[in-house]
Chain A
Amino acid sequence: MSRLAIELPGLSLKNPIMPASGCFGFGKEYSQFYDLSELGAIMIKATTRETRFGNATPRVAETASGMLNAIGLQNPGLSHVMEHELKWLEQYDVPIIANVAGSTVEDYVEVAERISGAPNVHALELNISCPNVKDGGIAFGTDPAVAKELTERVKSVSKVPVYVKLSPNVSDISKMALAVEDGGADGLTMINTLVGMRLDSRTGKPVIANKTGGLSGPAIKPVALRMVFEVSQKTSLPIIAMGGVQNEYDVIDFISAGASAVAVGTANFVDPLVCPTIIQNLQALLKEWQIDHIHELKGRSWMSVGETANYRT
């Protein structure tokens, strides 16, 4: 029996590891490095109804153990994604989670309805948390009532389960989780990036054209971990967690915090082979620890109220 195979709404995963949306394009570039069928799933780049160019450059900047990005949802549009990118991905034995974005409810509904009909799309990731576009996205991700309504509307047209991607840029993320659960969401993905900034010290000017950007990378892992720990105990929805995952220990931490699966984002830029490496190392680590299935570790941090561990270096 596989230690890593897991079942989630709409998704039968060989393993709980998948590249996070926006960090993997539509897979082509990474297929030069390994067989994409090794992955648990692929979360493809956010898709909108129309083609989008995105923001002005520079779009990225490095920060301490992290990076800021403000790409601005650049993508070739729904029709192109369905006819070319998803078609191309059909050659791989890997379920696709389609990230759906938009500026209006109607945008989301149309993209969700059509893209959920693609044969290899097994779930949707409703992107209500992109911090880098002015018109929409984040607005849906910060108001619980609006998020709930959007979830309902998308659920009513989607042919596959809907996971809602939560933003950390709110005062109470559990409230958002409960609202979308109420709206009929099948799962959660969390967290999107934290809004941040970097200035050029000499001139005082922002170093990315959008001025602010989304912070990702190992710098945000503690925040993501805390939010997964909190939300997983308040909802019954499965969580696909992301935020600074670089290795198998990070994966174990998110599972221990209550996640069911884990996505890898920024680390793909540092090491294109990071996902297959994590899958391999995770398998070996569980064997070494004599854990028969990764979900034996799921949520184990919840039990440790009043207890702390020695700091692991």
Chain B
Amino acid sequence: MIKQQNMMIVSHQSIAEDVYELTLQGSLVRHMSSPGQFVHVKVTAGSDPLLRRPISICSIDPLLEQFTMLYRVSGGGTKVLSNLVKGSEINVMGPLGSGFPVDELREGEKALLIGGGIGVPPLFELSKRLKTKGVKVTHVLGFQQQSAVFYKHEFEQLGETYIATADGSEGTKGFVTDVIKDHSFEPDAYFTCGPTPMLKAVENMLDHTPGFISMEQRMGCGIGACLACVCHVQGDDTGLLYKKVCSDGPVFRSGEVVL
């Protein structure tokens, strides 16, 4: 059930270059069940900026009825959002989309979680849930440079964590695929979220492993009505089949959609 609600900001802080951690409180959290889902946020009540912002859910605390999202300031809307202070309210619609299937793995199996940049956050709640189930989690997280790295310590609490930076200022110099290439992780399944070229490279590299890929696309309505965020389906010769990232995804099985 999709709800919308004015939620209260309980904490808001910068955690890396242009990246903010925002925790919100409200009964809407009760409906958040699946890691990898997102919320659609109206950053002001007025008409500029007009549209909502889709932002992934990073962690959920059902007891306190709070959830945390991490976002990067990349335009006017997220700039306005970054100026909001504790105690103020923002309108949140959600939870939206399908999340990562935690039940895909059993106790004792191995999961590889691969994130790039602002695609890292939804992997955090996923990792917590997998670890709770007794799944062994390993994280490979890619960032532009050291100043952009976030949640390294938080992920390390849950499992082995490898960092790659494009300029080599932290961890392995290069991309997440360079880390994967240099290790024999042999996971039973992988879960990934990040920029599309990264998703493509990961899907190609781990083509014999079951995988779940969270897509990013510019959205309008966020609920499947406007058809702004569609993608093609792999193996469809007609070119007419499609999936909606907002409501069929954002998480798809590897090989399901054209990246």
Contact = CB atoms under 8 A, between A and B. Distances in A.
Interface stretch (B121-129, B165-173, B176-184, B228-236): B228-236
Contacts of B93: 272
Interface extent on B, as a size class?
Answer: 20 to 34
Contacts of B64: none
B50 A66 contact: yes
Interface stretch (A5-13, A52-60, A151-159, A161-169): A52-60
Interface of A: 22-25, 28-30, 32-33, 51-54, 57-62, 64-67, 69, 71, 74, 217-218, 246, 266, 268-273
A28 B50 CA distance: 23
Interface of B: 1-2, 4, 42, 47-52, 77, 93, 217-232, 239-240, 242, 247
Per DSSP, chain B at the interface is loop
Nearest to B76: A62
B239 to A, nearest CB: 6
Nearest to B49: A62
Contacts of A23: 221, 225-226
B226 to A, nearest CB: 6
Contacts of A71: 226-228
Contacts of A53: 230, 232, 239-240, 242
A22 B220 CA distance: 11
B218 A270 contact: no
Contacts of A270: 42, 50-52
B227 A33 contact: no
A28 B217 CA distance: 22
B226 A69 contact: yes
Contacts of B4: 271-273
29 contacts: A28-B225, A29-B221, A29-B247, A30-B225, A32-B1, A32-B223, A51-B240, A53-B230, A53-B232, A57-B228, A57-B231, A59-B218, A59-B228, A60-B218, A60-B226, A61-B218, A62-B50, A65-B48, A66-B50, A69-B226, A74-B230, A217-B47, A217-B50, A218-B50, A269-B221, A269-B222, A270-B52, A272-B2, A272-B4
B39 to A, nearest CB: 14
A182 to B, nearest CB: 35
Contacts of B42: 270
Contacts of B228: 57-60, 69, 71
B172 to A, nearest CB: 29
Nearest to B231: A57
A162 B228 CA distance: 28
A61 B217 CA distance: 11
Contacts of A29: 221, 223-225, 247
A268 B221 contact: yes
A269 B217 contact: no
Contacts of A32: 1-2, 223
Contact of A64 (B48, B218, B229): B48
A266 to B, nearest CB: 7
